Structure 1
Amino acid sequence: MTIAPAKLSDPTVRALVTAINANDRDAFLALLAPDATMSDDGSDRDLLPWIDREIFGSHGHMEVQTEADGGRALVANFRNETWGEMRTAWRFTVTSGGRISRFETGQA
């Protein structure tokens, strides 16, 4: 069973998943804090090249399976044109102003 993006609990995470699935890079970037950071499989990555390669340049798409921590921890089937589909875990740190300051992803 999947959770529709519109049903995700955290409004910032909900907007981010919606932006990913719409391949809307501008909407995605608007949700990030200016100094946002990220990691992939436990290694910090340079955020802009990573999102261009893994999400927007390869048509990434998330199908959320579960959420926890008020909607800031997700397990999702993520697919893109580079890697195909994989089960992934995502954890988001959201500022009091509703922007994402960090996200961590990796295989679940």
Structure 2
Amino acid sequence: MTIQTAKLSDPAVRAFVNAVNSHDREGFLHLLAPGATMSDDGAERDLAEWIEQEIFSTHGHMEVDNESNGGRCLLARYRNDTWGEMRTRWSFVVTDDGRISRFETGQA
């Protein structure tokens, strides 16, 4: 059963999912702390390149099925025009000022 985005526990993660699903690149970038990093399936990736290829140019969309760790770990169905839909896991590191300094994703 999908969790409504508005009901996600962590405000930064909720804003991240909203930005992905509304294709709000500017809002998405504003959520990231300076020097933010990410990995996909355990491999470090170039953040700007990854978000362009996996989210914004391919109409990425997340439907969250489960959250844990205070809302900073998600299980979601993620889809985009390149890969179709897959079950994914996401984990987030959020700074004291509420910005995302790192996220890790991969197939669940």
Q: Which residue of 2 aligns with 1:97?
A: 97
Structure 1: which 5+ runs fail to align? none
Q: Which residue of 2 aligns with 1:85?
A: 85
Q: Which residue of 2 aligns with 1:15?
A: 15
Q: Report whether the alignment pairs 1:66 with 2:66.
A: yes
Q: Which residue of 1 aligns with 2:43?
A: 43
Name the CA distance, whole Å, in 2 between partners of 1:8 and 1:16: 11
Structure 2: which 5+ runs fail to align? none
Q: Which residue of 2 aligns with 1:57?
A: 57
- In the alignment, residue 103 of structure 1 is paired with which amino acid? F
- In the alignment, residue 46 of structure 2 is paired with which amino acid? D
Q: Deviations over 1:47-100 (max 9, x none)?
A: 000000000010000000000000000000000000000000000000000000
Name the CA distance, whole Å, in 2 between partners of 1:40 and 1:103: 9
TM norm structure 2: 0.99
Q: Which residue of 2 aligns with 1:33?
A: 33
Name the CA distance, whole Å, in 1 between partners of 2:21 and 2:78: 10
TM norm structure 1: 0.99
Moved over 2 A (4+): none
RMSD value, Cα: 0.3
1:10, distance to aligned residue in structure 2 (A):
0.1
Percent of pairs with identical residues:
69
